[in-house]
């Protein structure tokens, strides 16, 4: 499996998205087209690769394996407050909060 295929699958699964959802965000009518990229059967064209990077909020270099650095979007004020609050919790409380978040997603 190609680096691109592995990273697409990993990013999608980390976000809890289906292949169909990613295809819809890209404006692709058939989710099998996206699935082919994720399985390494085909590669997206350059324009679509840029769209994929935007959807997953990473660089095209990361998607293609030219870089291992994942560039995350900057945190807004609320995200920063949440992050700071979570850092002060015990490991047990962090697990509880994580479980709660996963249930409401």
Condensed to tens digits (0 to 9), the pLDDT of residues 1-19 reads 799 999 999 999 999 999 9
Clarify whether residues 83 and 35 are in a common domain: no
Q: 99 is in which domain, residue-wise?
A: 74-105
Q: For residue 69, is pLDDT > 90?
A: no
Clarify whether residues 35 and 53 are in a common domain: yes
Residue 50 sits in a domain of what CATH number?
Answer: 1.10.260.40
Q: For residue 21, is pLDDT > 90?
A: yes
Q: Average pLDDT, stretch 68-90?
A: 85
Which H or E run includes 87? helix 77-87
Q: Average pLDDT, stretch 41-52?
A: 96
State the total domains in the chain. 2
Clarify whether residues 15 and 51 are in a common domain: yes
The set of residues, in sequence order, having a beta carbon less than 8 Å from that of 8 and lying 6+ positions away, is: 37, 38, 52, 56, 63
Q: Is the pTM of this model over 0.75?
A: no
Cα separation, 69 vs 56, whole angstroms: 14
Clarify whether residues 80 and 32 are in a common domain: no
Clarify whether residues 84 and 105 are in a common domain: yes
Clarify whether residues 22 and 43 are in a common domain: yes
Residue 52 lies in a domain: yes
Q: For residue 42, is pLDDT > 90?
A: yes
């Amino acid at each position: 499996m190609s680096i691109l295929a592995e990273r697409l699958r990993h990013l999608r699964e980390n976000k809890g998205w289906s292949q169909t959802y990613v295809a819809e965000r890209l404006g692709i009518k058939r989710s099998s087209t996206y699935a082919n990229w994720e399985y390494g059967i085909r590669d997206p064209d350059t324009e679509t690769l840029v769209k994929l990077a935007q959807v997953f909020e990473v660089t095209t270099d990361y998607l293609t394996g030219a870089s291992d650095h994942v560039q995350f979007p900057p945190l807004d004020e609320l995200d920063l407050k949440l992050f700071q609050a979570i850092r002060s919790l015990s490991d047990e409380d962090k697990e509880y909060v994580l479980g709660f978040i996963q249930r409401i997603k």
